[in-house]
Amino acid sequence: MRLLFAFVALVRPAAPLSLAGSPIAARARPPRAGFASMAAPTFIFEVDPNGDRLRFGCEQRTVTPVKPEGAGAAEYSLAAFVSDDPEGIMFSSWPPGRVRAADDGTGEFLIDVEEFQFATLKVAVELRAAVWLEKGAAKFESRGFSVRGLESVISADALDVRVRGTMRPSPPTSSLCILTGDVAFEASGAVPALLRAVPEPALRAASQAVGEALVGAAADRFGKLVPAAYAKWARARV
């Protein structure tokens, strides 16, 4: 069950969200240190002319060097770790109790996403997600969601939240042990009544803050928790 916790906000699918092409997409501040390469997040923000509907999102790629275990043997490689138990990677990347298997026999999972602030609202979201392997990469995709604590303000039917991602290890034969992580999310729907009086620049700033928080949390998992889980997995097999 390791792979399911390594994502959230998980992550970009085989057909990634197209955020960079938006005419109003914004570039983020310079990337944080600690990674061999971290592209600046790309943001999207759109409000319809009447101010009734909002669409915003974010995507980012991280490339993390990982210490190879087991003297570089293929059976202890990062690729072997990702392929061995993709769902378990997810579980190892979240605090206890934040991810659980859905009890409807679908093989999907329910994830309590960190509560975040959007303008004057605090939003708590539970994602339903699926995790699978595809061509040596671990894939994550949300399959639904619910909003908790804001039922009187936000109707789930009025919102669409999508989180997608990919975690790709370097091949066992590569001279460098690298974990490449892609994460993307997009939210769209009717603007809640409490936010309709908020100026557009404030909504834009709030949407970017949410994007930075979500992709930043995913980057931390890619850069810290997943390599730590890999090292523990390898030590148990050496």
Note the pLDDT of residue 7.
32
pLDDT computed for residue 65 by the predictor: 92
Mean pLDDT within 104-108? 86
Looking at the whole model, is its pTM more than 0.75? no
Q: What is the pLDDT of residue 106?
A: 86
Strand (E) or helix (H) holding 209: helix 200-220
Q: What is the pLDDT averaged over residues 81-100? A: 78
Cα 182 to Cα 56, 58, 62, 83, 215, distances in angstroms: 18, 11, 7, 17, 9
What is the pLDDT of the chain when averaged over all its residues?
A: 75
**CATH number for the domain running over 2-235:** 3.30.530
Q: What percent of the chain has pLDDT over 70?
A: 73
The pLDDT value given to residue 177: 92
Cα(83)–Cα(85) distance, integer angstroms: 6
CA angle 175–177–181, rounded 5-degree value: 135
Q: Among the listed ranges 35-39, 89-93, 103-107, which one has the minimum average pLDDT value?
A: 35-39
For the chain, what is the total number of helices (H) and then of strands (E)?
Answer: 5, 12
CA–CA distance, 139 with 3 (Å, rounded to integer): 9
**CA-to-CA distance for 166 and 11, rounded, in angstroms?**
5
What are the start-end ranges of the E strands in 92-214?
A: 99-101, 109-112, 116-118, 121-134, 137-148, 159-169, 178-190
CB contact at 8 A, 156 and 128: no
CB neighbour list of residue 144: distance below 8 Å, 6 or more residues apart: 127, 128
Per residue in 123-143, pLDDT tens? 677 888 888 999 889 998 988
